[in-house]
Amino acid sequence: MSFENTQAFVLLLPVALLAIGYLVVQLRQPRFTVRFGNLELLERATSRRRGVGRHAAPLLLVGGLVGLVGAAADPTSVETTTEARARVVLAIDVSPSMLANDVGPTRLVAAQEAARELIDGLPASFEFGVVQFAGEATLLVPPTTDRLAALQAIDSLEVASETGIGEAVDASLGTLLRTTTGGDGIPGAIVVMSDGKSTAGRAVEEAAELAAEAGISVSTIAFGTEGGEVELGGQLQSVPVDGSSLELLAGLTDGRHFTAADGDELAAAYQEIIEPLEIEVETLVSHMATVLVAGVLLLLLAAGASLVFEERLP
What pLDDT score does 251 carry?
96
Helix (H, G, I), strand (E, B) or coil at 297: helix
46-59: per-residue pLDDT in tens? 554 445 667 788 88
- Asked if the model's pLDDT at residue 313 lies above 50, the reply is no
What pLDDT score does 56 carry?
82
Asked, as a colleague might, if the bond just before 105 is cis with ω within 30 of 0, I would say yes
Q: Where are the beta strands (DSSP E) in the chain?
A: 2-3, 75-83, 87-93, 127-133, 137-144, 188-194, 217-223, 229-232, 235-238, 257-260, 279-286
Selected residue with higher pLDDT from 249 and 274: 249
Selected residue with higher pLDDT from 144 and 9: 144
Weakest mean pLDDT among 78-87, 151-160, 199-208, 243-252 = 78-87
Helix (H, G, I), strand (E, B) or coil at 163: coil
Q: Distance between CA 46 and CA 23 in Å, rounded?
A: 20
- Asked if the model's pLDDT at residue 304 lies above 60, the reply is yes
What pLDDT score does 139 carry?
97
What pLDDT score does 15 carry?
83
Strand order in the sheet with 75-83: 2-3, 75-83, 279-286
Q: Which CATH superfamily is domain 85-277 in?
A: von Willebrand factor, type A domain (3.40.50.410)
Beta bridge partners of 192: 91, 220
How confident is residue 279, by pLDDT bands cut at 50, 70 and 90?
low
Residues contacting residue 45 through CB under 8 Å, at least 6 positions apart = 36, 313, 314
Residues of the chain above pLDDT 90, percent: 51
- Asked if the model's pLDDT at residue 196 lies above 90, the reply is no
What pLDDT score does 278 carry?
62
What pLDDT score does 298 carry?
86
How confident is residue 29, by pLDDT bands cut at 50, 70 and 90?
low
Instruction: Give me the chain's average pLDDT, please.
Output: 85
- Asked if the model's pLDDT at residue 293 lies above 70, the reply is yes
Q: Where are the domains of the chain?
A: 2-78+285-308, 85-277
77-129: per-residue pLDDT in tens? 877 666 667 899 999 999 999 999 999 899 999 999 999 999 998 888 899 99
91, 94, 100, 106 alpha-carbon torsion, rounded to 10°? 70
What pLDDT score does 1 carry?
81
